[in-house]
Structure formats: C-alpha cells, structure tokens
Amino acid sequence: MLKRLLQVFATPTERVDSVSQERIPLAAAVLLLEVAHADGEFHQTERDLIGPLLMQYFSVSEASLADLLALAEETRGNSHDLHQFTREINKSFTQPEKEQIIEAIWQLVYADGRLDCYEEALMRQLGSLIGLSHRQLIEAKLRVHRP
C-alpha cells in the first residue's frame, strides 16, 4: 500500500482522474496533520480524530489508514508549502465540498478544546488557498464550535 501511495503522489498531475482521486486523501491527511501540529503540540485527541475524519470525508478504508498516515507524516516533513496539497482539493471538489472539508479541519482544531493563534492563522491561510471567503470560513467554524 505504501509503495502504491508513493507512486500516486509522484505521478504527474496530468494523469487520469482515478490517480488524482487517490492523491486527494494524501493531500487531506497532510493538511490535517499540519493543522494538528500548528500549535506545537500533537494532542492525543487530535491524533484520535484524524483517522475518522479521513474515513468520513475522504472514503479512506480502515485497512489503508495507517499506511496513509505514515506517508502523510513523511510527506509533510518533506514539503515546504501547502499549495501542492490544496491544489488537489481545488481541482477535485466543489465549493460546498470545500466547505465540508474546512468544517472537518475545524473539528480537528477544536479537538483539544481551544483555538491557538497559530491554528487560527493556518485556517485563514487554508481557507484562502482553497477559495473560501472569510464568511464561509467563519460559518464553517461556527457550525463546529459555538463560543
């Protein structure tokens, strides 16, 4: 499985849709891990939530989850920006689907019970990178967490 995911992520973006669809869970996993690490701590509640979010929103099977997360950690460590990951989401999702994704990421942000300033800044950046307005970003946040 790990070799297959590496091949998929290394495949040029001009390839067929099926390959692109396989890249989306990896991109999502990297984004989720980036947000989980944004405050300098990777809480157990965040760790426990990432898998279910990937299975729910990106149809990742439980059998492939561990390999995907291992690859996502490695990919995250080797990447320098978020554009390559948000590009996959922009190419493949509608605006309402992007709002659902950002809502899932907000769930992860609030998994530890608080919003760190680094997490908030990263969420603004992610919202912008996937083409959501500030209003859409805040509405998704409020659906997850009412102060």
Query: Sign of the C-alpha dihedral, residues 23, 70, 40, 104?
Result: positive
| CATH code (residue 139) | 1.10.3680.10
Burial 122-147 (b: 16+ CB within 10 A, else e): bbeebbebbebeeebbeebbeeeeee
Number of structural domains (the chain) is 1
Residue 68 sits in which domain range?
2-144
Q: Answer whether 0.85 is exceeded by the pTM.
A: no
Nearest to 47 by CA among 58, 35, 63, 64: 35
Which token pair is 123? 């969420």
pLDDT per position as a tens digit, 73-113: 999 989 888 898 899 889 888 898 899 889 999 999 999 88
